[in-house]
A and B are shown apart, each in its own frame.
Chain A
Amino acid sequence: MSRSKLKKLGLNLPILPMTSVGSFPKPPYLLEARKKFAAKQMKHADLRELEIRATREWIRKQESLGIDVMVDGEMYRGDMVAYFAENWEGFKTSGLVRSYGNRYYRKPIIVGEVKAKGPLTVDWWKFVQSLTEMPLKGMVTGPYTMMDWLFNEYYPTRRDACLAMAKVIRGEVKSLVKAGAKIIQIDEPAISARPEELPEFAIEAMKDVTKGIDAYFITHICYGAFEFIYPEMLKLSVDNFDLEMSNSGLDLLKLFKKHPFTKDISFGVTDIHTHVIESNELVEQRIRSALEVLKPEQVWVDPDCGLKTRTTEEAIGKLKAISVAVKKIRRELEA
């Protein structure tokens, strides 16, 4: 339980803190602008202006819903792996690879030693944090997911590639913390890809990223085969696991009953794969189910995953349902 750690960091969060996983839908004007920019019909400065506008809008929206820990909504980036790979040294781009249906993309290939050119997300983080009084998460993609979602032609093994990633990501995390970030999220959606690699090196890599750094660490994991990595995954050196719970009908709670969940959790209470906006009652019910197995001090509440694939209305609807349900249960807990 890391309530005391949060306090020590100067973060006075209410019970059941509300947050988001990371991405929000990009508004139509930004999607349009990104297309134009890709087709070289728009200057980067003009695109930047619209990214800033969209980010401001999402910050205001989160504030008005009473969200406690902010995200920037990722208006400036597309893919969470490619963004880092494109801005670090040691990569080249592959030929076209299929993503689904008729969709293709270029996947970065590690061809040399991976190095940062300097802090990457820090200036943006500082700017967005300046827009709000609420704490803003610093966001990086985790070493295991970077390794698993890239082609690797340079490092002899998956382990070597993963640990090399960890070193570079640690640098970015340190810079974020130095700039004032107190909550750092390390996205590891792929962590359960090969369960045997968790004890072999994924846990070690996470330790390499977070060790000795004074911040509250969250890791986001989704689409996982949790039954293969739980409870082993609790050894990942973070304070909070942000998990996709609702997409699987809260099945994970059964595992938590067998092996107690020993860390904090950001409990996903809305399914991001469906267009349907969950009712306040359903979200409430999911939180109550969580509280049957977990202590209130352990639990944060958020959507299952990034909301970027939903429409703006759906995303706001889902956040609103969370806000209403959390506020109701908070009142009960405080009474």
Chain B
Amino acid sequence: MELKAANNGSYPRISDDDQRHRQAYAKLDSKEIAWDDFEKVQDEVTRDAIEEQAKAGLDIVTDGQIRWYDPVSHIARNLEGCEINGLLRFFDTNFYFRQPVIKGKISRRDSLAKEYRFASGVSSKPVKQVITGPYTEAKLSINNSKADFRALVDEFAKVIAQEVKDLAGAGAKFVQIDEPAILKKPADFAILEKAVKKISAAKGGIELSLCTYFGDAAPLYKKLVTLPVDTLSFDFTYSPSLPDLIAEKGCEKNLGLGIIDGRNTRLDDKDNVLAKIVKIMPAVEGETIYIMPSCGIGDYLPRGTAFKKLQIVAETTEKARQMK
């Protein structure tokens, strides 16, 4: 079994000293610059975000989701049959996303593989592509189509399965499907399961991960481990009982430990983090344990703090390796 330091998802796009992205966005809004100019800035900022993650000591990075307006509408903007509506609070955070409105049958206009190709091209570390999952996309959308909720999840699953296939074609090794919404309604597990099966069938050589956050995964743990994915990732800040539960039940899959608090600026106590890792380590039969922030950190933390959090991820991973 191997330990790796990984980012969960997003990384802050601006800091007090570096507001290129914000300024370019404002200029794009006021039509002072064209989309292509804005994309150049997004490329630069993405490259810097990737570099910072590597500098913090991570083994697996993401593109920081710099191009994502928010976790929900980024996927939906790319879809026929879908419009983007007003702002809604993203779970219990102070961050707002734009709500997709489903008008009819959905289909992709473009592929995330483009973003992946850019990121992997400029990164010295393997890049994990993050995608918000079909259940969460459907749950957070307004459904004005003829399809009922189940059918809508299926449609999103089809679209995301195509995405995963394209990513495999682009050489992606790690894809993480985010499904925070399932924790709010565990009774929908069968709907999620069907969608995950569809995506899993398209994964080719990809190590497919399912990630939940902003809720306690413990009540669903027994079911989640049956899903056809290679890796399960959890938010440990919401779940005091999860380390004991995993230690007791074991885990045949790789495990992502979202154990560094991605929502608070307080720097996590390393000994405390390490104790949790040590408790869980012997129970994991999968090949890899990923130490991660509890959620994407791009929309919740200032960039300086985000960097320090990733350093803690790397340092505790290293310490845990020595204790193995």
Question: By the criterion CB–CB under 8 Å, are B92 and A194 in contact?
Answer: yes
**A152 & B264 in contact (Cβ 8 Å cutoff):** yes
- Find chain A residues with CB under 8 A from B238 CB: 194
Q: Which of B74-120 contact A (CB under 8 A)?
A: 86-87, 89, 92, 94-98
User: Which chain B residue lies CB-closest to A102?
Assistant: B25
Interface size for A (C-beta < 8 A) is: 25
Q: In the complex, A94→B300 CA distance in Å?
A: 11
Verify B95–A98 contact, CB threshold 8 A. yes
Tell me the nearest residue of chain B to A273, going by C-beta.
B86
B299 CB–A CB distance under 8 Å: yes
Q: How far is the CA of A225 from the CA of B181 in the complex (A)?
A: 12
Which chain B residues border A153 with CB–CB below 8 Å?
A: 264-266
| Chain A residues with CB under 8 A of B89 | 223
The reply on A96 being an interface residue by CB < 8 A is yes
Asked if B70 CB lies within 8 Å of chain A CBs, one says: yes
- Chain A's nearest CB lies how many Å from the CB of B72? 11
Q: Which 10 A-B pairs have the closest CB atoms?
A: A95-B302, A100-B96, A193-B92, A153-B266, A151-B265, A102-B25, A98-B299, A94-B302, A95-B16, A223-B89
Q: Are A95 and B304 in contact (CB under 8 A)?
A: yes
Contact with A along B276-305 (1 / 0, CB 8 A): 000000000000000000000011111111
A99 in contact with B96 (CB, 8 Å): yes
Name the residue among A97, A149, A223, A273 with the largest chain B CB count within 10 angstroms: A97
Given A104-B14, A194-B92, answer yes or no on A97-B301 (Cβ-Cβ < 8 Å): yes
Alpha-carbon distance between A98 and B98 when the two chains are bound, in angstroms: 14
Q: How far is the CB of A16 from chain B (nearest CB, A)?
A: 30
> A300 CA to B3 CA in the complex, in Å?
58
Interface residues of A in 73-102 (CB under 8 A from B): 94-102
Q: Which residue of A lies closest to B300 (CB)?
A: A97
Which positions 92-119 of chain A face chain B at CB distance < 8 Å?
94-102, 104, 107, 109
How far is the CB of B8 from the nearest CB of chain A, in Å?
A: 16
Task: Say if the beta carbon of B69 comes within 8 Å of chain A.
Answer: yes
A193, closest chain B residue (CB):
B92
List the A residue with the shortest CB-CB distance to B10: A98
CA distance A193 to B25 in the complex (A): 31
Docked pose: A127 CA to B299 CA in angstroms:
39
Residues of B within 8 A of A109 (CB): 265
B22: Cβ under 8 A from any A Cβ? yes
Cβ B97 vs Cβ A100 within 8 A: yes
Residues from chain B with a CB closer than 8 A to the CB of A314 are: none
On A, residues with C-beta under 8 Å from B are 94-102, 104, 107, 109, 148-149, 151-153, 190, 192-194, 196, 223, 225, 273
Q: A95-B15, A95-B302, A104-B22 are in contact. Are A148 and B69 (CB under 8 A)?
A: no
CA distance A100 to B299 in the complex (A): 8
> How many chain B residues touch the partner (CB < 8 A)?
35
Q: Are A96 and B70 in contact (CB under 8 A)?
A: no
Is B2 an interface position by the 8 A CB rule? no
What are 17 A-B pairs with beta-carbon distances under 8 A? Answer: A94-B302, A96-B16, A96-B19, A97-B300, A98-B12, A98-B13, A98-B95, A99-B95, A100-B95, A101-B98, A102-B22, A151-B266, A190-B92, A193-B92, A196-B216, A223-B89, A225-B184
Interfacial chain A residues near B216, Cβ < 8 Å:
196
User: Is B26 part of the binding interface, using a Cβ–Cβ cutoff of 8 Å?
Assistant: yes
* Cross-chain contact B94 with A107 (CB below 8 angstroms): yes
For B87, what are the chain A residues with a Cβ–Cβ distance below 8 Å? 100
The CA of A121 and the CA of B22, in the complex, are separated in Å by 35
With both chains docked as a complex, state the minimum distance between the C-beta of A99 and any C-beta of chain B, in angstroms.
Answer: 7
Residues facing A in B15-29 (CB within 8 A) are 15-16, 19, 22, 25-26, 29
Given A95-B305, A194-B92, residue A101 in contact with residue B69 (CB < 8 A): yes
For the complex, give the distance between the alpha carbons of A293 and B266 in Å.
46
Report the bound CA distance from A223 to B94 in whole Å.
12
5 additional A-B residue pairs with CB within 8 Å, beyond A101-B25, A193-B92: A94-B265, A94-B305, A98-B298, A100-B97, A102-B22
Contacts of A151 in B (CB 8 A): 264-266
Asked whether, in the complex, the Cβ of A148 is within 8 Å of the Cβ of B304, the reply is no
Residues of A near B300 (CB, < 8 A) are: 97
Q: Which chain A residues border B94 with CB–CB below 8 Å? A: 97, 99, 107, 149
Report yes or no: B266 in contact with A152, Cβ–Cβ below 8 A: yes
Q: Give the docked Cα–Cα distance between A196 and B239 (Å).
A: 11
